[in-house]
Structure 1
Amino acid sequence: MFTGLSAFPLTPMSERGIQEAAFTHLIESLTAARVDAIGALGSTGSYAYLTRAERARVAKLAVASAGDTPVMVGIGALRTRDVLTLAEDAQLAGASGVLLAPVSYQNLNDDEVFGLYDTVCRALSVPLCVYDNPGTTHFAFSDELHGRIAQLPQVRSIKIPGVPGDVEAVRARVERLRRLIPSDVTIGISGDPLAATGLAAGCDGWYSAIGGLYPRTMLAITRAAQAGDTEQALALSARLTPLWDSFRQHGGSLRVIATAAELQGLVSHPSLPLPLKTLEGADRQALANVLETLELE
């Protein structure tokens, strides 16, 4: 579950509720593409905008629609009490694992973050992936803190942000972290534009937002890297530069992915929780042109 391509689908929704049929179809498409795992209720899944009941429902839909593909469910929340409740809901839904980011409003310190993971791990019967995403949580993990948390009994993977630089520079960063964690804890890369480099540099898996919409294209990159064909993996990723540029232009992947799903008729408009909105006007048309050129699948 913590190696290869873990695809993180959109949770399409409006102010009236979750588009359950559309979400189920997205999950079934990922299973048909034979992704290695599915990550429900990640950042692309807009977990922070949903109620407990909505999150429990999404977890149940994901597991029920995924067949034998393992499903990891995001359980991040502001209070440890709520994280524990969400962890229980995810396990009751049949999740194969959980994903936990140190969500905060007040800035957290290292001891508070360690305490969060320690408390949650004591309550879990499934594996946990540490979600290192300073762009949304505004908390920066040190390698030393990752090393402490990785010793906890349920921790099986660390989802790190994309690392800039060439393959050798990224390899050095990955190896520094790997020296501090147990051998059975994997390192997965996120940040789709930098993922091919991360895989080529020794990351065990790719936690992919765009893979939740175009799994076959992202599987081709993943499988090339797994086969040791770094040149092919990097070339396939470089071909997607217009898409990566769109991510950077619009503050990340979520608005772009939701717009792409709308353009392709996979979800209804609106598909994001207000105040978030998909792209409009010239930006929407520009993305439509990019998608037509790239022919993603």
Structure 2
Amino acid sequence: MFVGLSAFPLTPMYDDSVDEKAFIGLIQRLVNAEVDSIGVLGSTGNYAYLTREERKRVAQISVQHAKEIPVMVGISALNLRDVLLNAEDAQTAGASAVLLAPMSYQQLTENEVYKLYEVVTSTLSVPLCVYDNPGTTHFNFSDELHGRIAQLPNVRSIKIPGVPTEPQAALDRVNRLRALIPDHVTIGISGDACAAYGLNAGCEVWYSVIGGLYPEVAKTLTKTAREGDKQEALRLSRILTPMWELFHRNGGSLRVVAAAAEIQNLVKPPCLPLPLRALEGKERTELASLLSSLELS
């Protein structure tokens, strides 16, 4: 399952609880598009803002409505105890894989992060994807640490942040990591603006935010890159440059995709857990115009 397009949908909120009806609708869009896998309870899925029971319910709904598409469920938490409970809930719900970031209030050491993955992987009955997201965790993996963790049982993919936009530099970055990990562990690109560069450099999977809302667009870009048409993949990504710029200006993709989902009546506003808010004012108007011009729906 760790190849192709892995689409990460919002976990929409309404009236301070998960909007299950809207969430099911988002999952159904991904099923209809036949994405390769679905990733729930990642950063776009607002995992850090939800209770254990809410996360358990999201995992259950995802698996129930994903049909034959494998579902990867985020299990990250501030302490090991809760990570293990989330892993148990995800596996009980029928998740095909789990996603784990080294989330912590205190700055973690490399040894602490390694021990986290060592304990968790030893308890799993499903594969694990390592979630490398320094923008939210404030922990920077070294390639050597990735190499050590990738040797652990059940580790099957590494979700890396953006790669350089210069093709050779992107290739060098992916190859440095590839040399340190086993063949059965794939490398996946996140950071949607860099997706084409990562896929062109040999990443096997795109862990995609925009794919969670507009799967057809992301699926086309992924297929094009994996078939070796690098220039066309870059062209498709450049069409979305105004979207990538909105992501950059607003501290990431979450507020933008939340506003897009609200604008297109896929969710009820406000759909983010407070105090987070979707785009407002001029930027929301700009986004609405962009969605129309790009014919995203």
Query: Under a length normalisation based on structure 1, what TM-score does the superposition of the two structures give?
Result: 0.99
Query: Aligned partners of 2:275, 2:224: CA distance in 1, in Å?
Result: 39
Contact 1:132–1:160 at 8 Å: present in 2 too? yes
- Counterpart of 1:124, as a letter, is L
Match of 2:127 in 1: 127
Contact 1:15–1:274 at 8 Å: present in 2 too? no
Query: Aligned partners of 2:94, 2:211: CA distance in 1, in Å?
Result: 22
What is the 5 A alignment of 1:160-171? 160-171=160-171
Contact 1:14–1:271 at 8 Å: present in 2 too? yes
Runs of 4+ in 1 over 6 A off after TM superposition: none
- Counterpart of 1:223, as a letter, is K
Match of 2:71 in 1: 71
Match of 2:214 in 1: 214
Match of 1:223 in 2: 223
Contact 2:100–2:131 at 8 Å: present in 1 too? yes
Once the two structures are superposed, residues 116-141 of structure 1 have per-residue CA deviations (whole angstroms, 9 ceiling, x without a partner) of: 00000011000000000000000000
What is the 5 A alignment of 1:88-167? 88-167=88-167
Contact 2:16–2:273 at 8 Å: present in 1 too? no
Moved more, 286-295 or 11-20: 11-20
Match of 1:185 in 2: 185
- Percent pairwise identity: 64
Query: Aligned partners of 1:110, 1:283: CA distance in 2, in Å?
Result: 39
Once the two structures are superposed, residues 166-208 of structure 1 have per-residue CA deviations (whole angstroms, 9 ceiling, x without a partner) of: 1211011100000000000000000000101100010011000
Query: Aligned partners of 1:248, 1:157: CA distance in 2, in Å?
Result: 26
Match of 1:20 in 2: 20
Gapped regions of structure 2 (runs ≥ 5): none
Query: Aligned partners of 2:16, 2:159: CA distance in 1, in Å?
Result: 32
- CA shift for structure 1 position 282: 1.2
- CA shift for structure 1 position 283: 1.3
Query: Aligned partners of 1:236, 1:252: CA distance in 2, in Å?
Result: 20
Match of 2:203 in 1: 203
- CA shift for structure 1 position 164: 2.1
- CA shift for structure 1 position 296: 2.1
Contact 1:108–1:139 at 8 Å: present in 2 too? yes
Gapped regions of structure 1 (runs ≥ 5): none
- Counterpart of 1:218, as a letter, is A
Q: Report SS of the residue matched to 1:108.
A: coil
> Number of residues paired by the alignment?
297
